[in-house]
Structure 1
């Protein structure tokens, strides 16, 4: 793994699935939702789980690139906006936006401009982006790098106290 600062938060597939179901449980009181918009790429997996749990069938994506090399967050690029079909649902429709993480809030601000009345939900939230999210599961410090299960392989993990026997 790359060095992304002092704090690392590796998330297993099992833990991520439990966290996604916990998010769906929290969202169940805010629904039902007419559509779900996944922020790609990180929001695809949690969106699939949440959509299954909440019975949402209308699923759309908004494609925004913000991390360009896994180390640094760069300028935002909207690669694909929200479809006209979702935009035409109108102000009275309940649209749910899902992402894996809100970090600085840049991506969330961009999508909020597109869907100002949507309900925003993430699995993880950092302090800078936290005010832009309506529902989340776990808050982590701003200097924590989250290693998602799709970014990792199964390898030996060095103990925190290096040099200690396993």
Structure 2
């Protein structure tokens, strides 16, 4: 018997837009928010959709690098959050948005910067699901999500062809 295969979950632009709007619907019960902080790069698209749906005009970004498409690495804050938003977190309602929470390494780092913020992701994996306040879809830890900006149109072999011998 072979070990379980890693799964892939390709997400189209249409699906990602629908899922981001579904997150906005969930956030309606939590608002009003004074600002959004999106974790770049993955949080840029859902933040734009959610900002539109909830009427939020102040959008900030934080750039944290922790892995590439294959490997988890050291956490590096490439672009910090501006002081105005950090100050707003003390008295206002700040919303953190990302595409995915996986191991929670990035999310924990951003939450440390904004300890009072509401943290939302479109997708969540079990290892860090409890880290976020709201999300839309849970996927298994061994699933790699291919976001629309990561993909190109190409042939995909049938699932059975990729299953063990």
TM-score range, shorter chain: over 0.9
Instruction: Give the structure 1 partner of residue 98 of structure 2.
Output: 99
Instruction: Give the structure 2 partner of residue 118 of structure 1.
Output: 117
Return the alpha-carbon distance in structure 2 between the equivalents of residues 75 and 131 of structure 1.
Answer: 22
Superposition deviation, residue 146 in structure 1? 0.4
Matched position secondary structure for 2:160: coil
Matched position secondary structure for 1:89: helix
Instruction: Give the structure 2 partner of residue 31 of structure 1.
Output: 31
149-158 vs 38-47, which deviates more? 149-158
Superposition deviation, residue 90 in structure 1? 4.3
Question: Do 2:20 and 2:122's aligned partners in 1 also have CA atoms closer than 8 Å?
Answer: yes
Return the alpha-carbon distance in structure 1 between the equivalents of residues 161 and 107 of structure 2.
Answer: 38
How many pairs align?
Answer: 158
Instruction: Give the structure 1 partner of residue 56 of structure 2.
Output: 56
Choose between structure 1 and 2: higher helix proportion.
2
Return the alpha-carbon distance in structure 1 between the equivalents of residues 10 and 142 of structure 2.
Answer: 14
* Residue 130 (str. 1) matches residue 132 (str. 2): no
Gaps of 5+ in 2: none
Question: Do 2:37 and 2:61's aligned partners in 1 also have CA atoms closer than 8 Å?
Answer: yes
- Stretches (4+) displaced over 6 A: none
Question: Do 2:89 and 2:115's aligned partners in 1 also have CA atoms closer than 8 Å?
Answer: no
Matched position secondary structure for 2:33: coil
152-161 vs 50-59, which deviates more? 152-161
Return the alpha-carbon distance in structure 1 between the equivalents of residues 6 and 81 of structure 2.
Answer: 36
TM-score, normalising length from structure 2? 0.92
Give the RMSD, CA atoms, in angstroms: 1.2
Gaps of 5+ in 1: none
